[in-house]
Amino acid sequence: MFNKELVKLFSQIETPFYYYDMGLFEKSLNNLKSTAVKYNYKVHYALKANANDKILETINNFGFGADCVSGNEIEKAIKIGFPSDKIVFAGVGKTDKEIEFAINSSIFGFNSESIEEIEIINEIAIKKQKTVPVFLRLNPDIDAVTHNYLTTGLNENKFGIPLSFLDDVLDKVQKLSNIKIIGLHFHIGSQITSFEPYINLCKKVNIIQENLYNKHGIKLKYINLGGGLGINYTNPESELISDFEKFFSIINENLHTRPEQEIHFELGRSVIGQTGSLISRVLYVKKSVNKQFAILDAGMTDLIRPALYGAHHKIENLSKQENLTDLIKYDIVGPVCESSDSFDIDIELPKTERGDIIALRSAGAYGEIMVSQYNLRNKPKTIYSDTILQHLKSESNN
């Protein structure tokens, strides 16, 4: 991914920065688009994964919709140009102000997670004399077999309406004058690396749909299966573009749909994850009792996933790409005053020195968007492959 010339350019730029390979990104979007068209599936990109303007503009140019979880994300999506009728609004705790804003914006639908929230949406809708389209987000109690913090479809999670409440919720919703239930919504978790949980989800959705029809005579137009498709963090090169064909074909095989039904998805990580890397420099190689620390100028404020979820991002010493035989073990850490500010332990790299350029791979999703300024650190810069030369020119002019 990083040839010599590119690393030379990196070495002229102040680190740390996020680098996005726009060529790879477009290829990935092309693949997603053609596969979605093949199955007639609709994709809403989950803004929470990465909401950089340029990334969003590119996604919008491909005609995808937007999945938002805050009023600000809706505002951003509209500003970028996503059509309102392709925007869905999810989240377990929407404020009145956000609900009002979303109603005013005439979005495609609310993914609602409780009757308590739907009642408030109805009150606000009555005041505005509008009817609001709502998807019921159900909690199917399915194990997504992922990190504890990234599972959302189990009964113990705060998300979704428990299946056992569904009949009661439907009774109550029918009495609400300004709510129109248009579909069902599910999202069982993130970084899901096997298809088994999705097969289980489809089977559950089939049963729910059957019951809805048999018991209530309800036929819903939309089924939204959420996001969650995982990416390969260990060996990104082996799967730079997610296997959307396999994913959609499995859904297609297992989900029973009616001809008039539309199937929607909300993908985030699989769309942008492999496109981005956090590029950093080694400040010091510090010897300790039994180990050596490579201390980077990037820390947990720049990429929090390892500290927060124990996540592994492949780490590469880009300055020493030719010397991959004599490997030494390092703990790769950041400069922040927290012991959890560690990117990985005991990883093998070529002999590493002060000034070496280090890449933390697969950081396009939930990387830059989760940056903080703890310790009053600066935010990392953003560099795109197609404008890196312009960036260097403008830096040298300043």
Based on CB atoms, which residue is closest to ligand LLP, 306 or 350?
Answer: 306
Based on CB atoms, which residue is closest to ligand LLP, 334 or 350?
Answer: 334
Q: Are 59 and 47 in contact (CB under 8 A)?
A: no
Under rule CB under 6 A, residue 134 binds ligand LLP: no
Based on CB atoms, which residue is closest to ligand LLP, 316 or 368?
Answer: 368
Based on CB atoms, which residue is closest to ligand LLP, 255 or 318?
Answer: 255
Under rule CB under 6 A, residue 266 binds ligand LLP: yes
Largest CA distance in the chain: 71
Query: Would you list the DSSP string of 96-165?
Result: HHHHHHHHHTT-SEEEE--HHHHHHHHHHHHHHT--EEEEEEEE------S-GGGB--STTSS-SEEGGG
Q: How far apart are CB 309 and ligand LLP at their closest, in Å?
A: 6
Total of chain residues touching ligand LLP, rule CB under 6 A: 22
Site string for ligand LLP, 150-169 (x = CB under 6 A): x-------------------
Calpha distance 230→242 (Å, rounded): 8
3-state helix, strand, coil in the chain (%, to 5): 40, 25, 35
Under rule CB under 6 A, residue 99 binds ligand LLP: no
- With the CA atoms of 43, 92, 196 and 40 taken in that order, what torsion angle do they form, in degrees rounded to the nearest 10? -20
Based on CB atoms, which residue is closest to ligand LLP, 293 or 309?
Answer: 309
End-to-end CA distance of the chain: 29
Q: How far apart are CB 112 and ligand LLP at their closest, in Å?
A: 12
Q: How far apart are CB 118 and ligand LLP at their closest, in Å?
A: 17
Under rule CB under 6 A, residue 228 binds ligand LLP: yes
The gap from C-alpha 318 to its chain's centroid, in whole angstroms, comes to 26
Based on CB atoms, which residue is closest to ligand LLP, 267 or 295?
Answer: 267
296-325 residues in contact with ligand LLP (CB under 6 A) are 305, 309
Closest CA to 107 of 143, 154, 72, 68: 68
356-395 residues in contact with ligand LLP (CB under 6 A) are 365-366
SS3 at position 250: helix
Q: Which stretch binds ligand LLP (CB under 6 A): 95-103, 206-214, 224-232, 279-287?
A: 224-232
50-89 residues in contact with ligand LLP (CB under 6 A) are 67
Under rule CB under 6 A, residue 117 binds ligand LLP: no
Write phi, then psi, for 347 (nearest 5 degrees). -100, 150
Query: What tokens appear for 127 in the block?
Result: 């005041």
Based on CB atoms, which residue is closest to ligand LLP, 7 or 154?
Answer: 154
179-208 residues in contact with ligand LLP (CB under 6 A) are 187, 190-191
213-248 b/e with 16+ CB inside 10 Å = b?
Answer: eeeeeeebebbbbbbbbbbbbeebeeebbbbbeebb
Q: How far apart are CB 49 and ligand LLP at their closest, in Å?
A: 5
Based on CB atoms, which residue is closest to ligand LLP, 232 or 317?
Answer: 232
Interface residue with ligand LLP among 226, 306, 334, 350 (CB under 6 A) is 226
Calpha distance 160→138 (Å, rounded): 5
Q: How far apart are CB 283 and ligand LLP at their closest, in Å?
A: 25
Closest CA to 355 of 388, 319, 321, 328: 319
Burial zone of 289 (CB within 10 Å; 0-12 exposed, 13-18 middle, 19+ buried): exposed
Residue 368 has, within 13 A of its CA and on its CB side, a CA count of 25
Based on CB atoms, which residue is closest to ligand LLP, 295 or 307?
Answer: 307
Interface residue with ligand LLP among 29, 47, 49, 103 (CB under 6 A) is 49
Based on CB atoms, which residue is closest to ligand LLP, 33 or 320?
Answer: 33
Q: Are 85 and 114 in contact (CB under 8 A)?
A: no
Q: Which stretch binds ligand LLP (CB under 6 A): 125-133, 221-229, 291-299, 348-356?
A: 221-229
Closest CA to 132 of 121, 141, 140, 143: 121
List contacts with ligand LLP (CB under 6 A). 46, 48-49, 67, 90, 150, 187, 190-191, 226-229, 266-270, 305, 309, 365-366
